[in-house]
Amino acid sequence: GNSVTQMEGPVTLSEEAFLTINCTYTATGYPSLFWYVQYPGEGLQLLLKATKADDKGSNKGFEATYRKETTSFHLEKGSVQVSDSAVYFCALYSGAGSYQLTFGKGTKLSVIP
Amino acid sequence: DAGITQSPRYKITETGRQVTLMCHQTWSHSYMFWYRQDLGHGLRLIYYSAAADITDKGEVPDGYVVSRSKTENFPLTLESATRSQTSVYFCASSLSREPEQFFGPGTRLTVL
């Protein structure tokens, strides 16, 4: 079946540090890949997505590249801010008819001034 | 544009009681989903619905019941709440043929 594996958290960084959150997946076919962000006390919001191999999704300074050869979709940001403190979820959509997403367990990021 | 709303936002109940969590969306999205979020498990799908009167089980459906008589509403009922159902519940929706899901703000349920 489909699965998503994210790096264990929590991750604590100083402001302006470089961020990488690793995500690897297992899926049949050609999945679409997503990063969602959950700020404290809120629901999940789509951060970025990529629908085919070598696509790069980007938003708010975050980037992730769909690497089919390594089945990965790592999230990166060059300079994090305190406001980026949140839980980040990697997810995939396998293309099956039910439009279900498979989520990773989430990585909590804390950015300290 | 209200989007997707959930009510109540917080609920405390006792073991054995019936509880209904409400979800309402204003976009006329075809698909709706219920997830529970627990530490160490991430989000797990409870039930989903492809359209009014069409529902199907997800990964963890036991102890839950759903209905969808109208496109915009997708209530989740715990028929006899148990402590293991203490969790944060999220409703989500998506357009037909589009995998991107839009999430509500969540309901924090505590079962004593």
CB of A89 less than 8 A from some CB of B: yes
Please provide the DSSP assignment of B55-110 as one string.
EEE-S--TTEEE--SSTTB--EEESS--GGG-EEEEEEEE-TT----EE---EEEE
Tens of pLDDT, residues B5-55? 999 999 999 999 999 999 999 998 999 999 999 988 888 999 999 999 999
Among residues B75, B71, B90, which one has the least CA distance to residue B26? Answer: B71
Structure tokens that stand for A16 in this block: 């302006």
Under an 8 A CB cutoff, do A98 and B98 touch? no
CB of A88 less than 8 A from some CB of B: no
Residue A31 has phi, psi (to 5 degrees) of -75, 160
Strand partners, A67: A72
Structure tokens that stand for A69 in this block: 């050869």
**What CA–CA distance (Å, rounded) separates B45 from A40?**
21
Best residue of B57, B97, B101 to probe chain A, by most A CBs closer than 10 Å: B101
- Residue B26 to chain A, least CA–CA distance (Å): 17
Q: Which of B45, B97, B105 sits opposite A43 (nearest CB)?
A: B105
Under an 8 A CB cutoff, do B100 and A49 touch? yes
- Residue A39 to chain B, least CA–CA distance (Å): 10
Per-residue pLDDT, A97: 60
Per-residue pLDDT, A9: 84
Counting every residue written for chain A, the total comes to 113
Query: How does pLDDT run along chain A (113 residues), one tens digit per residue?
Result: 889 999 888 999 999 999 999 999 999 888 999 999 999 988 999 999 999 999 999 999 999 999 999 999 999 999 999 999 999 999 999 876 667 789 999 999 999 99
Strands B107-111 and B10-13: parallel
**What CA–CA distance (Å, rounded) separates B60 from B63?**
9
CB of B99 less than 8 A from some CB of A: yes
Contacts of B56 in chain A (CB under 8 A): 98
**Sign of the torsion angle spanned by Cα atoms B25, B31, B32, B33:** negative
CB B5 within 8 A of CB B105: yes
Strand partners, B51: B54
Q: Which chain A residue's Cα is nearest to B10?
A: A41
Per-residue pLDDT, A28: 81
CB of A70 less than 8 A from some CB of B: no
Q: Which of B42, B48, B94 sits opposite A106 (nearest CB)?
A: B42
Tens of pLDDT, residues B42-81? 889 999 999 999 999 998 999 999 999 999 999 999 999 9
